[in-house]
Amino acid sequence: QSCRVNHARCCVGNGRFLPTRLIEVQPGEPPTACLHTTDPRDRGLLYTTLSHCWGGATEIPQLTEKTYCSFYSQIPYSNLPQNFKDAIDITLYLGLHHLWIDSLCIIQDSTDDWATEAAKMAPIYENSTCTIVAAS
């Protein structure tokens, strides 16, 4: 909040560009998450991004044609890896309610969606309020 209010120069891009999809998160025990398609009425919406490694022993949950509809209702928190849960917690701690994670916001089994959304990755990260980096 302090950065947005006192350091306008640092937040020039915030809210001007939005990804096609974001994860909407709400506090709770556990927090809730669902997919949200952005539209022009969302102008000014602030979001965080997660930068993470896909490798490792943990299976990464993915948005696919099969999970597309169900993720708009709920992305099961209990099925998320710890770094995704941490990103949700940090997003909420910052007072924000939207998060972008590539595997959950790009349809992974759609060549067209992947091509379109992957081309937007630079502005997605550039315009996020904060990029959370999962270092390990």
Q: Is it the case that residue 10 has pLDDT exceeding 70? A: no
pLDDT at 66: 97
**Distances in whole angstroms, Cα of residue 61 to Cα of each of 11, 55, 78, 103, 107:** 31, 12, 11, 7, 11
Helix (H) or strand (E) holding 133: strand 130-133
Residues 80-99: pLDDT tens digits?
999 999 999 999 999 999 99
Q: Which regions of 3-123 does DSSP assign to beta strands (E)? A: 21-26, 32-37, 48-51, 98-100
pLDDT at 1: 54
Helix (H) or strand (E) holding 131: strand 130-133
Alpha carbon distance 136, 133 (integer Å): 9
Cβ count near 113 (within 10 Å): 18
Instruction: Give the total number of structural domains in the chain.
Output: 1
Alpha carbon distance 113, 133 (integer Å): 24
Among candidate residues 81, 83, 89, 82, the one with its CA nearest the CA of residue 32: 89
52 burial class (0-12, 13-18, 19+ CB within 10 angstroms)? buried
When pLDDT is cut at 50, 70 and 90, the band that residue 135 belongs to is confident
Alpha carbon distance 94, 91 (integer Å): 5
Residues 26-81: pLDDT tens digits?
999 999 999 999 998 888 899 999 998 877 656 889 999 999 999 999 999 999 99
Confidence (pTM): 0.88
Q: Which domain holds residue 118?
A: 2-133
Q: State the average pLDDT over residues 4-12.
A: 56
